[in-house]
Each structure stands twice: as C-alpha cells, then as structure tokens.
Chain A
Amino acid sequence: MAETRKEALFLGDIRKTYHTGSFDVPVLKGVNFEIWKGEFIGIMGSSGSGKSTLLNILGLLDKPSSGVYRLDGISVETLSDFELTRIRNIKIGFVFQAFNLFPHLTVQENIEVPMVYAGVAKHKRHKIAAEMAEKVRLAHRLDHRPTQLSGGECQRVAVARSLVNNPTFILADEPTGNLDEKTGNEIMTLFHDLHKAGTTIVMVTHNPQYEPEYDRVIYLRNGRKWRIVDNVNNTREEFDTDEVK
C-alpha cells in the first residue's frame, strides 16, 4: 500500500520568523510533514499556533524563512513571484472562509476566473465551468450572481472555482466558518464526495467537531507539529512542543 502512495506536498523543517522592529517573533519553529495524493487532511490549532502562517506558506502566498517545501515534486523556496503565482494558479485550488466571490460576475464567470488567468480559451472555459457547476450541483444557477445565492451555494461556487484547473490539492481555509451547522455539514459532504473521487484536500480549521472526518489531522501548537491523528490507521502520535531552546 505504502509503495503506491504519491507525494502531493512535503514540508521539511519549515520555519518562519517575523521581524518586528528589534524583536524576532518565531511563528513556525520547524514543521515537518508530507501529504499524499488523495488524502483529506485537516490542520488544526488554536489561535497563535501558527496555523494561519502555515496556511499562507502552503498556499504560496508567503515564503518560509527556512526549510523545504516541495509541491507536486517542485521545490518552491527559490521561485520568483511570477512562478509562484503560476503554480498557485494551476496547482492549488483556494476555498476561503468568506467565499471571496466577485459580486458583479455571474456564477459561471466566477468559476471561470482561475482559467482566465491560466489563459484557457473561452469556449473551453464555458465547458469546464458547466461541468464543475454540475459537480457541485449548481448547474441551474450558472447565470445567477452571488448576491442571489445562499451562503452554502456561494461556498459551492467557490469549491467549483477551486477545481477548474485540476489542481494538485485544494487548500480550504475554514470553509464552514461563515455557515450554519447544517449548511456547514453539506459543504463537508461535498468535500467528502470530492475526496472519494480522488481529490487531495487540505483544510485548515479550528473546529474540532469534524476531526473524525479527515484521513489525518495535523495539530499545531506553539509553531510546531504537536499531534497527528490518523483516522485511517487509527493511530495517534504526539510530539514535544515545549519551549526547550
């Protein structure tokens, strides 16, 4: 089983220190883990655990101070802003807590945005957007604008948008954070459907309610990996996160 697994991304000793005036604030103090293709991963941690910083690094929006980040076999630490943007465009599908849809665009146009930046031709964009809308069960809403949709529907549009360039993984930042419980569960169901179809998903959340739903949950504390819960193999690892040095 283990031999057939393919690496989606790999983090090796990722550190991030913010320099504020004369103070150095270490936020990530050496984070290591890998994510395999097809996995549904949860990243959890309380405020100040370094979760958001890790999210930004995973999403190529921020660069680590040191460490190795390999995304789909590409080492990204030394890449330029242009190259990072390109990788973000085609290898990462973003889903935000606040949906971040463009209110003046229709559902279809919203779904097409990443393809526009990837330079996909118009007729192909229409075709893929329709397929993705079908996948998130919004085919009948293609001509609507986000203001005419419910929160759950908006998030489904965002999920459809994240899928269009067939990314290596979906990076979801608290995707249920702005939704009520029932709608949140619906979105989780949608992610499960995608996961079953083979999509790699990394979800950053502080909601412990969904812990059993992920393949693995990576807990952060004090800028370090603290605990890994493996629901597939039913194992639980704990790591020392005390401030030693």
Chain B
Amino acid sequence: MKLSDQIALSFTNLMLHKIRSILTSLGIIFGVGSVIAMLSISEGAKREALAQIESMGVDNIILSTKKPPPMGKDLSDNTNNSNYETYGLTEIDRDHILHMDNVATIATARNSRKPILKGTTRLNVNLYGVTNDFLAATRSQIIQGRWLSPADRDRNVCVIGINARRGLFSIQDRKIVGKIIGVGDDAYRVVGIMENTKGTTIQGLGSPNDAIFITKEASDAVYGKTSFQKIAGRTSIEVVEYDCFVVKVLDVSYIDFTSKRSAAFLNKKHDNIQDWEMVVPLDILKQREQTQNIFTIVMSSIAGISLLVGGIGIMNIMLANVYERRKEIGTRRALGAQKGDIIRQFLFETIFLTSIGGFIGVCLGLLIAKIVTQYANWPVAFSIWFILLALFISAFIGIIFGTYPAWKAAQQNPIDVLRAE
C-alpha cells in the first residue's frame, strides 16, 4: 500500500467522526496548551528578570555604602544633641581597588543628601556627584541634550533622570534642557535628560532614572564629604566619601576572584564593620537563571502530566475504536491489508489526532500566554522552538499511545470477525 493512500485513508477515517475526533484530542489540546503557556510565560518572566540584572552589567561589581547599625558604633561624640558618624566607602578604598589586577575603571557616585523640593514638597529625588564614566557604567542613555563633560566641573549644570524630570517639571514642558532647578542654595541648569530603559536599580543609589547628576568635582567643591541633617531636633553629622562604586573588570571570567579580593580588602580596612555592601550582578544572574530554570521545569512537568493524561485518553478511545471497527479490520485483512497496513492506518489516525490537537493546543497556549503576560505586564517570549517542540511532543505522544491500539488492531483475527453478524 502506498504511503499517500495510507495517509489519505487515515485522514478520511478521522473526518468521518469529526466531533469524536475533536473530543478525543481535547486532552492533548489542553495539555499542549498549558505546556506552551507555561513555557512562554516563564520564559517571558525569566527574560524580563535577566534583562534587568544584565543591565546592571555582568562585568561590574557594585560596591555601596551602607549606614552601619548603631550597635558597635563609636558614639563618643554623642553630645550636644548631635550625632557624628563617619562610615562608608572612601578614597583609599577606591585607590586600592582600582589598582587591583583585572579592574579597569571605577565609576563613583556620592549623594549630596540635600532635599530636592518642588514648592514645599520633598521629591523622591537625590542629587549625585558622579564621575564621567557613570552614564556608561550604568548602561543608561541620553535621550535629550547631552551628558556631563569634564569642562562642567566649574559650571552649575546637571543631567536629570527621566523620572526626576516628571517630578520636577510638568508634562506640558516640552523644553527641559536649559531650565534651571534649585537645590538648597544652589541652582543648576539642565543640560540633558538620561534614561535607563531597563529601570535598573543600583545598590546604594536606586534607579538612575530618579536622580539628578552633577560632576564629581562640582559636588566635592559644593558639598564636600560632610552632610548635616536635622532629624527630630537632633543634628546628625555624617561623613561619607562615596555612596557607590561601579567597578568594571577587564576579564569577566575572573570577576569572582576580583570581588572576593575586594571584599577581603574592605573587611580588613573597615575593621569588619558592615558599612558597605557588594553586589555582583553576574552572581545574581546565575542564581536567577538557575531558579528560573527550575521553575520552568517544575511548571512544565505539571503541564506535562496533563499531556500524559491526554495521551492515555486517546489510547483509551483508540482501543474502543479498534473494537468497534473489528469488522472493517477483518474485511481489510481478507482483501489484502497487511498487518503493517492496519498498524499504520491506526497509528496515523492517532498521530493525526495528536498533531492536530497539538496545533490547536499551541494556538490556545499562545493565547493564554498573551492574556496572562498582558495582564501581568510581562514581555511574551514566543519562541518558534516551543511550537516545534510542542508539535513534536504531540506527534510523539501519538506514536507512544497509538502503537498499542494499532498493534491490537493488527492482531485481530479476520476469521473471528468476518462471520460475525
């Protein structure tokens, strides 16, 4: 029997019972649908998370200043209603780390700790003095105007983040570049607007989108390293040299070594006081990837069980089908159908069922994924590979669960069925 005839025969047989065929493949439809939905959703969530981490820079080590817990802190100056504290990353730290092997550059940021006001309300915006390479180190872009230049050290100019712009100016203001903003007694002219499209949060600094940046030199000249704050009638004096280092390494494969050496150095230098923190985006990336993969595997396995159930359902119905069509099988065998022809006829029927079910399932899964991701505001990660995989799996299920009924059909003894009736 020719293959084309075989395929046509199996397909015609399915078309004879359209409703039954569809009902039979429902299990596969929902099974494949849930697998596709799971894969797309978790892949979308994964890509989103990874993109965020990646945007911190996988070749970066981020060091930040952390206000140490008051316990174990020297409080000897706690007189005259004032608090005097010195903590955090220092120039000495920067120099030392910069001279380590494998360290290329260190972009730094220092928070002026000045409240930024709009009228009388305090905005959730901070002013930072940053080095020139800070924009590149945080993988941000200028979307209007320009970034700070070395020549700006003597000018009162700033670059603002996209979210800070929303706080400082009204939406109707089209032309922000050139406008003046006041910070305490100082005024800065806006020369550019920057954006970090991934909305990355940097330890010790928050999102660059929420900040105002001036040059490190200007910041040092105006604000120095000491800040005064009045909290509940007490003046607190804090001496902080740096709030954030973005350390860029030369060779990512040694980032682990470099981060450990830096940590060892800082521990020693800071007498084991935890007034600093370290984040290695690559480490987080790896952990996240791992947990996401486990998540994907678990979810897909659960969805896979429904595929299994669907497959068993198909096998069940195909077995009933074989029994119901004993006479047809017997007649075909008498007229010259080989056992192989009968096996292929029923196997193709099952594979058709599961493949068509798989195809509908893929469509259903993509629809579910689309709805969920839209609702959750995640990016959808449709991959052609998921679809091919799902179709392959459903055809495979057809083979697995179709083989036994097909074999059973071929074992029918024509004598037993021909004389029936």
Contact = CB atoms under 8 A, between A and B. Distances in A.
A94 B335 CA distance: 7
Contact of B337 (A85, A96, A104): A85
A88 B336 contact: yes
A124 interface: no
Interface stretch (B252-260, B325-333, B347-355): B325-333
A62 interface: yes
Q: Is the interface of B mostly helix, strand, loop or mixed?
A: helix
Contacts of A56: 415
Contacts of A52: 419
A161 B334 CA distance: 12
Interface size of B as a range = 20 to 34
Residue of A62, A85, A102 ringed by the most chain B CB atoms within 10 A: A85
A11 interface: no
B197 to A, nearest CB: 61
Interface string A89-121: 110001010101010100000000110111100
A38 interface: no
B12 A82 contact: no
B150 to A, nearest CB: 83
Interface in B325-375: 327-328, 331-339, 341
Contacts of B74: none
A94 B5 contact: no
Interface string A52-87: 100010010110000000000000000001100110
B12 A117 contact: no
Contact of A114 (B335, B339, B421): B335
Nearest to A178: B421
A96 to B, nearest CB: 7
B1 interface: yes
B336 A90 contact: yes
B16 interface: yes
A117 B339 contact: no
Interface string A109-149: 00001101111000000000000000000000000000000
Given A102-B328, A104-B16, A119-B1, A62 B335 contact: no
Interface residues of A, number: 26
B68 interface: no
Given A56-B415, A85-B338, A100 B1 contact: no
A117 B335 contact: yes
Given A100-B327, A104-B12, A119-B2, A114 B418 contact: no
B326 to A, nearest CB: 12
A56 B334 CA distance: 10
Nearest to B6: A116
B414 interface: yes
Nearest to A56: B415
B338 A116 contact: no
A82 B338 contact: yes
Residue of B327, B331, B418 ringed by the most chain A CB atoms within 10 A: B418
Residue of B12, B328, B331 ringed by the most chain A CB atoms within 10 A: B331
Contacts of B421: 98
A124 to B, nearest CB: 12
A86 B336 contact: yes
Contact of A61 (B1, B16, B339, B414): B414
Interface in B250-296: none
Contacts of B339: 81-82, 85
19 contacts: A56-B415, A59-B334, A61-B414, A82-B338, A82-B339, A85-B333, A85-B336, A85-B337, A85-B338, A85-B339, A86-B338, A88-B334, A94-B334, A100-B327, A100-B418, A104-B12, A116-B1, A117-B336, A119-B2
Given A117-B337, A117-B338, 16 more contacts: A56-B415, A59-B334, A85-B339, A86-B336, A86-B338, A88-B334, A90-B336, A94-B334, A96-B331, A98-B421, A100-B331, A104-B13, A116-B1, A116-B5, A117-B332, A117-B336
